Amino acid sequence: MALIKLNGREFEVEPGTTVLEVARQNGIEIPHYCYHPRLEIVGSCRMCMVEVEGMPKLTTSCSLRINEMPEERKVDGKYDMVVSSESDKVKQTQKSTLEFLLINHPLDCPVCDQAGECYLQDYSFKYGKAHSRFKEEKRVRPAEQLGPMVRINHNRCIMCTRCVRFAKEIAGTAELGVVNRGYYSKIGVVEGKELDNKMAGNVVDICPVGALLSNDFLYKTRVWNLEETSSICPECSVGCNIEVHVKDNQIQRTIPRINEEVNDHWMCDDGRFEYHKYEDAERIENPLVKTDSGFERISWTGAIKLLLEKFSTISREKGKEAIGGFGSAYMTNEENYLFEKMMRKGLGVTENLGLYPGEFEGDPEVFKSGFQINPDKTPNRLGASDMLNLDSDVDLFQLMRNNTIKALFFLHGGYDNNLSNDEKLALRKLDFLVVQDFYLSDIAKEADLILPGGSVYERTGTMTNYQGRVQKIQQGLYPEGDERPDFQIIMDIANAMRKNMMDYRSVWEVTSEISDSVKGYTGLTRFEVGDSGKLKTNAVLRQTKAKTSGEKVA
């Protein structure tokens, strides 16, 4: 181990660690622009300069690596390196660097989307000068569209090249480059290309100064008006960690949340912009019952009463094997756990439980860094299967075609319209179909009774990604109609079957019960799962194998 003294504090570090990394790990701010922990170090912005005892000039802390020195070269006979990021020389250099960066930068913070989370804005206050000596006219360049979702304001760009390195090193598509030289340099797309890869939106996240802009978020709102909720992306089984940013009960944007074991610092554009699907969905705000003239409203009391009467009649006349149920790979572990409990203990279903939708075919789309997009477009297939305790694959649609199943409870809650015509015909052979959904999907349109639940952004609980990592999903939106939380709907039905069959005060009590009763989930309580998730116990070997074989886990 090497011993370093940084701003008067001592730290033992692994040889090869950079000074900037030591500072970041220990809560010491050294301002920087071009450095990013997942990108190649270029040391071009000169903002992170530090003074090192024994060195004649200031040096960049992002590229300065700490190594163990021979005894005769140690400072004060003790330290391998003595560094200051707060000396007068450093402070003057920081002021000068910011002055140069701001020469052509417009003073347009009031209309810039980056305002409130801009390093240039923050560092100008902390490390810059109060006044600029530059009195000549600023260079003005027109904005350009780099791709379908990303534009660049060249006047704000400080040429840190984070975006260029991202396209080359992380996405592996290399559409971006530095065009021209010197004073005329700018970021542009390679001739014949545009920035349209599925990771393109990440360049907006890593731009430190608001030069790169998302067409989706442009001029929507100020960032300090946003309410932030930590959650996971519902678009595929990777389960990327995200932040959902909401204003006035509407999603304004979603951005990646760092989780090195799942998605690192990134998310794909499929997940980034998919929330618009939920905005455009034809929401169901009240329980609906099908009549000869279409769907009509019914009270929750009436809906639950009708459900129990129909299922009871069919069970009595045709046997319990005539009742079946689909759990949902879109819903949480808690919702599927309660559904399984209600179906088996409440309705006596033993074999006719299945999971919707079926398996997705195809290979993952893997980028240069190892980040991947999975073909399975459900966020919780593994967890739902664990909760439903499915011992074997049961083709419920075939049992409907054979008239074996005559009443079905269909838990859906995802945004898809994947039903084939054969599957629709199978549903139409039922005597009674209950669908729990949040919008008028193809499945809901076939229902005799629709119970309105929430979308994925209105749920709280846990989901298990393809690695076997259990992660928290948290509610960011709140329904405005007569919808109920999905786990509450199941509890209400179960308690109508048998008094106090489900007596949970919150969804996290269900999580605790799962940790006590479901194989592989022992100890995985809300607090143990934490913000980054935790592998279920029977997934540890899979994760270890992936790491030791050199495979990058996305």
H or E element at residue 4: strand 2-6
pLDDT digits 0-9 by tens, 229-260: 999 999 999 999 999 999 999 999 999 999 99
Whole-number Å distance between alpha carbons of 458 and 202: 25
% of the chain at pLDDT higher than 70 = 97
The letter for the amino acid at 98 is L
**Domains of the chain by start residue, with CATH:** 2-98 (3.10.20.740), 105-225 (3.30.70.20), 288-548 (3.40.50.740)
Confidence at residue 59, expressed as pLDDT on a 0 to 100 scale: 96
Confidence at residue 226, expressed as pLDDT on a 0 to 100 scale: 96
Question: By the 8 A CB rule, do 287 and 299 touch?
Answer: yes
Confidence at residue 545, expressed as pLDDT on a 0 to 100 scale: 36
List Cα–Cα distances, 223 to 113, 226, 230, 245, 426, in angstroms. 8, 5, 16, 9, 49
List Cα–Cα distances, 174 to 36, 210, 271, 293, in angstroms. 17, 21, 22, 57
Confidence at residue 135, expressed as pLDDT on a 0 to 100 scale: 84
Confidence at residue 539, expressed as pLDDT on a 0 to 100 scale: 66
Tell me the pLDDT of the chain averaged across its residues.
93
Confidence at residue 417, expressed as pLDDT on a 0 to 100 scale: 76
Q: In the chain, which stretches have pLDDT less than 70?
A: 391, 539-554
Helix (H, G, I), strand (E, B) or coil at 52: strand
pLDDT digits 0-9 by tens, 100-120: 999 999 988 999 999 999 999
Helix (H, G, I), strand (E, B) or coil at 233: coil
Confidence at residue 393, expressed as pLDDT on a 0 to 100 scale: 76
Whole-number Å distance between alpha carbons of 276 and 251: 9
pTM, entire model = 0.91
Q: Could you report how far apart the first and last alpha carbons of the chain are, in Å? A: 31
Beta strands in 158-264 (DSSP E): 176-179, 186-189, 212-214, 227-232, 241-247, 250-256
Whole-number Å distance between alpha carbons of 401 and 340: 23
Cα 432 to the chain's mean position, in Å? 37
H or E element at residue 325: strand 323-328
The contacts found for 25-31 with CB under 8 angstroms, 24 or more apart, are 28/85, 30/61, 30/85, 31/94, 31/119, 31/123, 31/126, 31/127
